[in-house]
């Protein structure tokens, strides 16, 4: 602000005083010229510095975002965490098969692997699809069910959970969600 006020007053004083000022007070005249020159260099320096900072922010912003994303709480699940999730085999229901307890248009059944007695879940035609790869479940496909009851191909969800420990549909965190249930 001082520099701006000095620029206006000093420039007016030098231009209005002209030749008379150089004869009456030459040292004051040259001091005024030096300060005006200093103001010009200071303004040029500030503008150049602002441009350099602006260019640096624009060029380095993707790097800064990547570093912040890496530091953020976006950690993947360990192999042990993923293996604790139940695994299922998918079996297509043929039109000729009838189930007494099931009514409606169902596409297949998920049968839990390694459980005795086997736990089965019937899937509707719209639920018999992996929401990660968008492929319908084929007969004999291995599925994994998350604690939030969403299910996916084992290969698809295992890769996803290694990067990000949340359900791709509802964002339920399988690590923090399990810790919360153990504390209750």
Residue 129 · residue 116 · CB < 8 Å: no
If asked whether residues 93 and 60 sit together in one domain, one would say: no
Residue 149's domain spans which residues? Answer: 79-183
Tell me the pLDDT band of 81, cut-offs 50, 70 and 90.
confident
| Location of structure tokens 């307890």 | 101
If asked whether residues 105 and 85 sit together in one domain, one would say: yes
User: Would the pTM of this model clear 0.85, i.e. be above it?
Assistant: no
If asked whether residues 132 and 55 sit together in one domain, one would say: no
Task: Give the residue from 45, 33, 43, 36 showing the smallest Cα distance to 7.
Answer: 36
If asked whether residues 10 and 43 sit together in one domain, one would say: yes
If asked whether residues 136 and 45 sit together in one domain, one would say: no
Where does the chain have alpha helices with state H? 2-24, 26-71, 79-83, 154-163, 174-183
If asked whether residues 48 and 94 sit together in one domain, one would say: no
| Location of structure tokens 């018999």 | 128
First-to-last CA distance in the chain? 61
Q: Which of 28-32, 81-85, 163-167 has the lowest mean pLDDT?
A: 28-32
pLDDT at 95 over 60: no
If asked whether residues 56 and 135 sit together in one domain, one would say: no
- Quote the pLDDT of residue 48: 95
Tell me the pLDDT band of 96, cut-offs 50, 70 and 90.
very low
User: Would you call 122 helix, strand, or coil by DSSP?
Assistant: strand
List beta partners, residue 142: 89
Per-residue pLDDT reduced to its tens digit, 129-177:
888 888 888 888 899 989 888 989 999 998 888 888 888 888 888 887 7
Give the residue from 18, 37, 71 where a domain finishes.
71
If asked whether residues 60 and 119 sit together in one domain, one would say: no
- For residue 128, the domain's CATH number is 3.30.40.10
Give the residue from 71, 91, 114 where a domain finishes.
71
Residue 105 · residue 124 · CB < 8 Å: yes
Task: State mean pLDDT over 61-68.
Answer: 80
Give the residue from 71, 105, 123 where a domain finishes.
71
Q: What's the structural domain count of the chain?
A: 2
pLDDT at 42 over 90: no
The rounded distance, in Å, linking the Cα atoms of 175 and 78 is 9
Cβ-proximal residues to 122 (8 Å cutoff; 6+ apart), any chain: 93, 99, 102, 106, 108, 109, 110
């Amino acid at each position: 602000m001082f520099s701006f006020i000095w620029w206006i007053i000093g420039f007016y004083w030098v231009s209005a005083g002209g030749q008379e000022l150089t004869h009456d007070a030459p040292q004051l005249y040259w001091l005024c010229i030096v300060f005006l020159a200093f103001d010009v260099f200071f303004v040029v320096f500030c503008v150049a510095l602002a441009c350099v900072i602006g260019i640096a922010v624009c060029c380095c912003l993707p790097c800064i975002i990547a570093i912040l994303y890496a530091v953020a709480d976006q950690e993947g699940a360990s192999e042990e965490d993923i293996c604790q999730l139940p695994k299922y085999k998918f079996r297509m229901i043929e039109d000729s098969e009838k189930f007494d307890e099931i009514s409606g248009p169902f596409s297949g059944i998920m049968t839990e692997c390694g459980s005795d007695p086997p736990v089965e879940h019937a899937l509707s035609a719209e639920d018999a699809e992996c929401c990660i790869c968008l492929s319908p479940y084929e007969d004999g496909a291995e599925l994994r069910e998350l604690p939030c009851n969403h299910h996916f191909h084992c290969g698809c969800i295992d890769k996803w959970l290694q990067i990000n420990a949340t359900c791709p549909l509802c964002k339920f965190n399988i690590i923090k969600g399990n810790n919360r249930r153990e504390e209750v």
